[in-house]
Amino acid sequence: MLNKLKKPFTVLMSATMLAGVLAACGNNTEAGTTNSSSDSFYSAGFENGKYTEPVSITTVFPIGSNVKFKNGENIDNNVHTKWAKETLGIDIKYLWTVSEQNNAYQTKLRLMLTSGQEMPDIVAFRGEPTLISDLIESGQFTDAGELFDKYASETYKQAMAEDPSVWNPYIRDGKRMGIPILENAYNNDPVMYIREDWLKAVNLKAPTTLDELEKVMDAFVNQDPDKNGEKDTTALSVGFKVNLNTWMSDSGWIFGMFGAMPNQWNLGADGTLLYGSIQPEMKPALAKMQEWMAKGYIDKEAGLYDEVKATEAFTAGKSGIIVGPYWMTGWPIPDLLKNVKGADYKAYPLPAGPDGKIGRHGTSTSTGAVLINKDMKNKDAFFVYQNYLFDNWANPKEGGEFENGFAENYDFALDPNGKPYPATETDKVPGGWVDPIRYTLTFDGAIIPSLRLNTLAKLAGGAEPTTRFEKNMSLSLPKQLEAAKIVIDQKAATMPQMFTGVPTKTQLSKNDMLTKLEKEVLNKIIYGKVSVDEFDSFVEQYLASGGKKVTEEVNEWYATVK
Amino acid sequence: MYHKTKSYKVFSIFNYTLLAVLSLVCLIPLIHILAVSFSGKAPANANLVGLLPVQFTIDAYSQTLANENFLRSLWVSFVRTGLGTLISMIVVICAAYPLSKENSNFKRKKVYTWFFVFTMLFNGGLIPFYILIQKLNMMNTLWVLILPGAVSVWNMILLLNFFKNVPKELEEAAFIDGAGYLRTLVSVYLPVSMPAIATISLFAMVGHWNSWFDGLIFMTDHKNYPLATFLQTIIVQQDFSKVSVRPEDLESISQRTVKAAQIFIGMAPILFVYPFLQRFFVKGIVIGAVKE
Q: B62 at the A interface (CB within 8 A)?
A: no
> In this model, does residue A244 exceed pLDDT 80?
yes
Helix (H) or strand (E) holding A144: helix A144-151
Average pLDDT along chain B: 86
Closest CB to A332 among B45, B233, B237: B45
A15 pLDDT band, cuts 50/70/90, is: very low
> Residues in chain B, how many?
292
Q: How far is CA B284 from CA B166, B169, B184, B239, in A?
A: 11, 16, 19, 54
Strand ranges (DSSP E) for A362-466? 366-372
C-alpha to C-alpha distance for A316 and A311, rounded to whole angstroms: 9
* Residues 6 or more apart in contact with residue B264 via CB below 8 angstroms: B33, B34, B37
C-alpha to C-alpha distance for A501 and A150, rounded to whole angstroms: 25
Q: According to the model, what pLDDT value does residue A93 have?
A: 95
B280 pLDDT band, cuts 50/70/90, is: confident
A2 pLDDT band, cuts 50/70/90, is: very low
The residue-averaged pLDDT of B204-232 equals 88
Neighbours of A555 (CB within 10 A): 17
Q: Which residue of chain A is at minimal alpha-carbon distance from B251?
A: A331
> What single letter denotes the amino acid at residue A41?
F
Cβ-defined contact of A477 to B223 (cutoff 8 Å): no
DSSP-assigned letters across all residues of chain B: -GGGSHHHHHHHHHHHHHHHHHHHHHHHHHHHHHHHHTS-HHHHHTT---SS-SS---HHHHHHHT-HHHHHHHHHHHHHHHHHHHHHHHHHHHHHHHHTS-TTTSTTHHHHHHHHHHHHH----HHHHHHHHHHTT-TTSTHHHHSTTSS-HHHHHHHHHHHHTS-HHHHHHHHHTT--HHHHIIIIIHHHTHHHHHHHHHHHHHHHHH--HHHHHH-SSGGG--HHHHHHHHHSPP-GGGS---GGGSTTT--HHHHHHHHHHHHHHHHHHHHHHHGGG---TTTTT---
C-alpha to C-alpha distance for A135 and A357, rounded to whole angstroms: 42
> Residues in chain A, how many?
562
Closest CB to B46 among A64, A115, A312: A312
> What single letter denotes the amino acid at residue B163?
F
- Residue A513 burial (CB < 10 Å; 0-12/13-18/19+)? exposed
Q: Angle, to 10 degrees, between the axis of helix B256-278 and the axis of helix B227-235?
A: 150
A378 pLDDT band, cuts 50/70/90, is: very high
DSSP-assigned letters across all residues of A73-116: -BTTBSHHHHHIIIII-EEEEEEEEEE-GGGHHHHHHHHHHHTT
Cβ-defined contact of B244 to A184 (cutoff 8 Å): yes
Cβ-defined contact of A114 to B127 (cutoff 8 Å): yes
C-alpha to C-alpha distance for A474 and A424, rounded to whole angstroms: 11
Q: What is the pLDDT of residues A21-64, one digit of tens each?
A: 333 343 334 444 444 444 578 888 898 889 999 999 999 999 87
Identify any residues that bridge with A273 across adjacent strands, giving them in sequence order: A267
> In this model, does residue A133 exceed pLDDT 60?
yes
**Rounded to 10 degrees, what is the CA torsion of A478, A482, A483, A488?**
140
Cβ-defined contact of B248 to A330 (cutoff 8 Å): yes
Cβ-defined contact of A476 to B247 (cutoff 8 Å): yes
Kindly give the pairing relationship between strand A234-237 and strand A319-325: parallel
For chain A, what percent of residues have pLDDT higher than 70?
A: 92
Choose the weakest-confidence range: A96-100, A294-298, A446-450, B50-54.
Answer: A96-100
Q: What is the pLDDT of residues B159-202, one digit of tens each?
A: 998 898 888 889 999 999 999 999 999 999 998 888 889 889 99
C-alpha to C-alpha distance for A264 and A259, rounded to whole angstroms: 13
A190 neighbors A322 (Cβ within 8 angstroms): no
> What single letter denotes the amino acid at residue A463?
A
C-alpha to C-alpha distance for A435 and A200, rounded to whole angstroms: 40
DSSP helix/strand/coil, A297:
coil
Residues of A whose CB is below 8 A from B247: 327, 329-331, 476-477, 480
Q: Is omega for the bond preceding A332 within 30 degrees of 0, making it cis?
A: yes
Q: How far is CA B150 from CA A364, A454, B220, in A?
A: 47, 59, 21
Q: What is the pLDDT of residues A171-221, one digit of tens each?
A: 888 899 999 999 999 999 999 999 999 999 999 999 999 999 999 999 999
DSSP helix/strand/coil, A19:
coil
Closest CA to B262 of B29, B23, B28, B36: B36
Closest CB to B238 among A101, A309, A339: A101
Closest CA to B106 of B36, B181, B43: B181
**Rounded to 10 degrees, what is the CA torsion of B188, B189, B192, B195?**
-150
Choose the weakest-confidence range: A376-385, A495-504, B62-71, B256-265.
Answer: B62-71
Closest CA to B262 of B76, B66, B84: B66
A138 pLDDT band, cuts 50/70/90, is: very high
Q: According to the model, what pLDDT value does residue A29 have?
A: 41
Cβ-defined contact of B249 to A438 (cutoff 8 Å): yes
The residue-averaged pLDDT of A247-260 equals 96
Residue window 121-150, chain B: list those with CB within 8 Å of chain A. Answer: 125-127, 130-131, 134, 140
Q: According to the model, what pLDDT value does residue A190 have?
A: 96
B88 pLDDT band, cuts 50/70/90, is: very high
Identify any residues that bridge with A495 across adjacent strands, giving them in sequence order: A361
Cβ-defined contact of B48 to A316 (cutoff 8 Å): yes
The residue-averaged pLDDT of B283-288 equals 55
C-alpha to C-alpha distance for B54 and A398, rounded to whole angstroms: 46
C-alpha to C-alpha distance for B83 and B256, rounded to whole angstroms: 32
